[in-house]
Amino acid sequence: MLDNTPKNRVRGGWIAPLVSTVLTAPLGLFAVAYGGLSPMACDSCDDAEATSFGNSLENGYLVLLAGLAASAVLLILSWCLMKDESHVRRTLFALLAPVAALVALLAFSSVVQWPS
């Protein structure tokens, strides 16, 4: 008999990346929306407070975009490792993707000097 299946085929290798995608995509969209709507927090600020807020917001955007890019790279890596015999690396990258998106959102919130 001929066996057409590869010897190193991994069953269920798509589960961790799929769960990670389902968690990371909405979290990333929420982070982008939160970052996009955050300039409205300083609509009634005076000039000095608006300048300070604007400078910190620029730095916050860099942090947010870098964190979301790292999250996207981790998510892509988890999907690319489908043929890996070990579930450990694929699962680790899949777990780190939503964590990186959450850390990016929290870092953005802490970098920005919100008006009082």
Mean per-residue pLDDT pooled into runs of 10, the chain (116 residues): 56 88 97 95 89 93 97 94 77 95 97 90
Q: Can you say whether residue 12 is alpha, beta or left, with left for phi > 0 and alpha for psi between -120 and 50 degrees? A: left
For the chain, domain boundaries: 15-37+46-111
